[in-house]
């Protein structure tokens, strides 16, 4: 990987070998520098990508621009190494990440496939429900009317006298 520093234009021009660093790695490294510089990527033949890193106008440079650009060039090299390592580790851990996420989603599902049916509790609930239904049926038989609490009677009929007083 070669680079040239152009003090006049406040830029560094890299020629990055794509056999060493993939386009994804170069883009990742370039993104880290977008707060300090403008990054221009360009295809430079089959094996190389040209990366031009130009300092932003509002960058605090001071008198020693050459030193600042050399430092930036070193940081860009380090960031490409960092991004390459991140990509490699991501690929190595892909199966583990997918397994962990799938287990988390599976565990959060309302009904797990591995979960055994709860026969005992279902039977208990059925018995309790039948008991309550029998109690309600007996209560209905004891009452002389079909609607002991007058639920089926409209509100207007129940409160006929009250509604007349309110209107007056």
C-alpha of 37 from chain center: 29
Tell if the pTM clears 0.85, that is, is over it: no
Q: What is the pLDDT of residues 106-130, one digit of tens each?
A: 877 776 555 665 666 788 888 999 9
The domain limits of the chain are 2-97
Q: Any idea which fold 2-97 has?
A: Gyrase A; domain 2 (3.30.1360)
Spatial CA neighbour of 21 closest among 75, 71, 86:
86
Token readout for 21 is: 């660093």
pLDDT mean across residues, the chain = 84
What is the distance between the alpha carbons of residues 52 and 96, in angstroms, rounded to a whole number?
37
Give the model's pLDDT for residue 165: 59
User: What kind and span of H or E run contains 49?
Assistant: strand 48-55
What is the DSSP secondary structure assignment for residue 130, as one 8-state letter? H
């Amino acid at each position: 990987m070669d680079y040239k520093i152009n003090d006049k234009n406040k830029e560094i021009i890299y020629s990055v070998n794509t056999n060493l660093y993939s386009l994804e790695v170069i883009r990742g490294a370039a993104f880290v520098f977008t707060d300090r510089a403008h990054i221009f990527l360009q295809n430079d033949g089959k094996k190389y990508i040209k990366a031009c890193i130009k300092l932003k106008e509002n960058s605090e440079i001071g008198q020693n621009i050459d030193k600042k650009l050399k430092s930036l060039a070193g940081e860009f090299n380090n960031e490409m190494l960092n991004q390459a390592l991140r990509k490699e580790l991501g690929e190595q851990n892909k199966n583990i990440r997918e397994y962990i996420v799938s287990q988390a989603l599976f565990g959060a599902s309302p009904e797990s496939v591995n979960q055994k049916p709860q026969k005992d509790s279902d039977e208990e609930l059925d018995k309790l429900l039948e008991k309550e239904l029998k109690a309600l049926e007996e209560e209905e038989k004891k009452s002389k009317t079909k609607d002991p609490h007058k639920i089926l009677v409209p509100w207007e009929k129940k409160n006929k006298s009250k509604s007349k007083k309110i209107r007056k």
